[in-house]
Chain A
């Protein structure tokens, strides 16, 4: 009963925030999609943090750590804690100012206007859609499973997924960017508190931090080291994964659009300071939950370990509080899902349709994106497709957009033809290495595809006609 009350209360709280945001927002397209370019430091920080922390961190990372130990922390947390905050300076700062100067609402629109090329907008829209929609499906899939498990199957997974999508769509439709930013404040705080609580409580299970690690060292010494002979941790695999995980985040359209919504540069700078602190709380807690989960809940094979986080919540806090684990997963999933819905809606609306229209029409576009995501979810469920591999492909795909995303913002000589060549070349190379069994010398497919995308971006820019000086001046402000 308490589980139902807390989950309903959480969903209602999200809708109320959406309603509040709707009452307090500027009645314009920029007001709806970018909160009038007025996100202050608190909302911006949580919007960025919540958007980037998906069920991958709460479910996937503890699940991987369960088998591979502390090496998963080494692989993920440090580089992310450094590079993502720096991207607020490298990408966020120019994207925010350029977006405002060119009156761009969506990421694809920003690059189409900056490079004076509709082809760039269409290519980016296609690439973003190709990589984002399956990623959204993984989010609602996780929520469906979490809700189904919470209610012992009395609520089936598709209904749980539909419910989550409906609530996220509901508050996003109501309040646009402002709603998603402020719900992210609640959601980010919620999953940060729950996972920290679990990590602290698990040390209590062993009688303290020191005793816990001594126990780990005695029972599972293999989990306390990064096995450098493991295929995941060889130098080339490690380096390629670092490339993928950092550059992917920089190129998420739903992160980019939040950076464009910053009120001022000071808000971006504050987020840059706070972000590594939040990650330093979240990632070690997620990894330690998985590592100590191997001691407390042993015997999970393969992907069954993905359920270790909810299992640990139940094991440590008791069955009556297991709902906290479900709420944390819902919060993590919805904080990403709402941003993706809004961003995809803005791109479909702005890049396929007219540049200005009534807000209710924009909401129709959002509903269309939501319907498409749920339709794909049903197909995936029916065909039992491996979303995990598709997800990996999506992340690598985002990384191949990196040369276009960065050079478009910092290099005046970068051209539209180079952007199209770089995106197409990078994605095709990725497909060739991913599915064509080409030898990559131990590197993951993301490495050669990023190399090709980078070379094409620079080479094609140098051999094609420079962009019109007037547009460059307008974009760069000088």
Chain B
């Protein structure tokens, strides 16, 4: 579980520091700027990770 938590965090960091990626000049669905779409998707991923983190990893000892 600890390994998954670390791997998830590191993966999100790698996706966030996205200088390895060439941003698309074509908007998503023809109108949403790639920069905004990419970051909003990332934030959705981070939210999912945090909900997993708080649900499965962060156990409260009685």
Cβ of B14 under 8 Å from chain A: no
B54 and A273 contact, CB distance less than 8 A: yes
- What residues of chain A lie closer than 8 Å to B33, measured between beta carbons? 70, 213, 216-217, 224-225
How many Å lie between the Cα of A79 and that of B43 in the bound state? 9
B27 and A213 contact, CB distance less than 8 A: yes
Given contacts A70-B36, A213-B27, whether A81 and B47 have CB atoms under 8 Å apart is: yes
B19 and A77 contact, CB distance less than 8 A: no
Q: Mark B1-39, 1 if CB is under 8 A from A, else 0.
A: 000000001001000110100010101000111111001
Q: Say which size band chain A's interface belongs to.
A: 35 or more
Interchain CB contact (< 8 A) of A74 among B35, B47, B51, B53: B35
Q: Which chain B residue has the least Cβ–Cβ distance from A288?
A: B36
A77 and B39 contact, CB distance less than 8 A: yes
- What residues of chain B lie closer than 8 Å to A276, measured between beta carbons? 43, 46-47, 50
How many Å lie between the Cα of A85 and that of B9 in the bound state? 12
A86 and B9 contact, CB distance less than 8 A: yes
A217 and B27 contact, CB distance less than 8 A: yes
- What residues of chain A lie closer than 8 Å to B50, measured between beta carbons? 82, 85-86, 272-273, 276
- What residues of chain B lie closer than 8 Å to A73, measured between beta carbons? 35-36, 39
Shortest distance from the beta carbon of B31 to any chain A beta carbon, whole Å: 5
Cβ of A277 under 8 Å from chain B: yes
Given contacts A71-B35, A86-B50, A86-B53, whether A78 and B23 have CB atoms under 8 Å apart is: no
- A residues with a Cβ closer than 8 A to B are 70-71, 73-74, 77-79, 81-82, 85-86, 89, 210, 213-214, 216-217, 224-226, 228, 235, 238-239, 242, 264-266, 269, 272-273, 276-277, 280, 284
- If A213-B33, A273-B50, A273-B54 are given as contacts, then 5 extra A-B residue pairs at C-beta distance below 8 Å, sorted by A number, are A74-B35, A78-B42, A82-B49, A239-B17, A280-B47
Give me the 10 closest cross-chain CB pairs, A-B, nearest first: A224-B33, A82-B46, A70-B35, A213-B31, A210-B31, A265-B60, A276-B47, A235-B19, A269-B54, A273-B54
